[in-house]
Amino acid sequence: MQTTAIQPSPTSNDTTDFLPLHGTDYVEFYVGNAKQAAHFYKTAFGFQSLAYAGPETGIKDKVSYVIRQNNLTFVLTTPLRTGNPIADHIYKHGDGVKVLALKVDDAAKSFEETTKRGAKAYLETTVLKDDDGEVVLSGIHTYGDTVHIFVERKNYTGLFMPGFRAWKSNYNPTETGLLYVDHCVGNVGWNQMNPRVKFYEDVMGFKNILSFDDKDISTEYSALMSKVMSNGNGYVKFPINEPAEGKKKSQVEEYLDFYNGKAYSMWPLPPIISLKRFQNYKKRY
């Protein structure tokens, strides 16, 4: 696998959306045991084995198992030694989302447009190559330790991306009808919702399409406020939650305390709804 850096393509004449997104490419979790986590998602939710990367593919410091169901792809990554960013992330947070990867036509341009608007760079534009073509990646920090990776695949025909090989398994449970990531919910601390809303407005060109106050989302004891951010075509939506006053701690505040920082907490996955499928979910647990 070759790795090179490139420059962005010439500026497009399209001024209506400076960051065209085509949905979620994959969600990457940093976990304590990637193979066990993959088995759980296969057993409980019907994901299928797709790809693997690790020492056998030339990667010495981590292993990653890729699972997929329809247009929904999870990458489950575990460090092979201590004293690296993946291990530190798990030590601080436990298992959790590190990467929300977004589909783009031009990863270099996406990086240029977001960083010039104030995003902190995470991954300089990089090209990964193998015999099946090339995947172009770039990335920016969002809140907490979570990052967005921009993924450009137009010149790649391989299974997942360079550096991975097919993961063939004799254990292939039936799918449960999950289709794609509908939206990813982010939790932030007190008075941090509006600054995060402004980040997505200014840096990524999102719009606030829906808002909820503590009267809309509350119980007798806890409450939260939320604003839903969406890109122009609606393929990528990020509700942003912050705590609200109640008799006890907000559920958002409890999550942040246990996770030890701001983070994405839920990934609603649109299923093909039927009573039979719901019953099948219950049987899998």
Residue-by-residue pLDDT tens, the chain, 285 positions = 544 444 444 444 345 789 999 999 999 999 999 999 999 999 999 999 999 999 999 999 999 999 999 999 999 999 999 999 999 999 999 999 999 999 999 999 999 999 999 999 999 999 999 999 999 999 999 988 999 999 999 999 999 999 999 999 999 999 998 999 999 988 888 888 999 999 999 999 999 998 877 666 666 667 778 899 999 999 999 999 888 877 777 778 887 788 887 555 554 455 444 444 445 555 665
| Residue type for position 32 | G
Instruction: For residues 139 and 123, give the distance between their C-alpha atoms in angstroms, rounded to a whole number.
Output: 4
Q: Which superfamily does 185-266 belong to?
A: 2,3-Dihydroxybiphenyl 1,2-Dioxygenase, domain 1 (3.10.180.10)
Question: What are φ and ψ of residue 86, in 5° steps?
Answer: -70, -50
Please list the residues that pair with 242 across neighbouring strands.
Answer: 225
C-alpha count within 13 angstroms, C-beta hemisphere, residue 34: 24
Residue 222 has what pLDDT? 74
pLDDT the model gives residue 285:
57
Residue with tokens 């990813």: 184
pLDDT of residue 10: 44
Specify the pLDDT at position 12: 41
Closest listed residue to residue 184, CA positions, set 27, 32, 17: 27
Indicate the pairing of strand 121-130 with strand 133-141: antiparallel
What's the pLDDT tens digit per position in 35-90? 999 999 999 999 999 999 999 999 999 999 999 999 999 999 999 999 999 999 99
- Indicate the SS3 state at residue 170: coil
Superfamily of segment(s) 18-166 = 2,3-Dihydroxybiphenyl 1,2-Dioxygenase, domain 1 (3.10.180.10)
For residue 165 the two structure tokens come to 């090989």
Q: How far apart are CA 256 and CA 152, in angstroms?
A: 32
What are the structural domain ranges in the chain?
A: 18-166, 185-266
pLDDT, residue 215, reads 67
Give pLDDT, residue 188. Answer: 86
Structure tokens at 39: 């088995």
Paired strand residues for 24: 102
For the chain, the first-to-last Cα distance in angstroms comes to: 39
Give Cα 171 to chain centroid, integer Å. 26
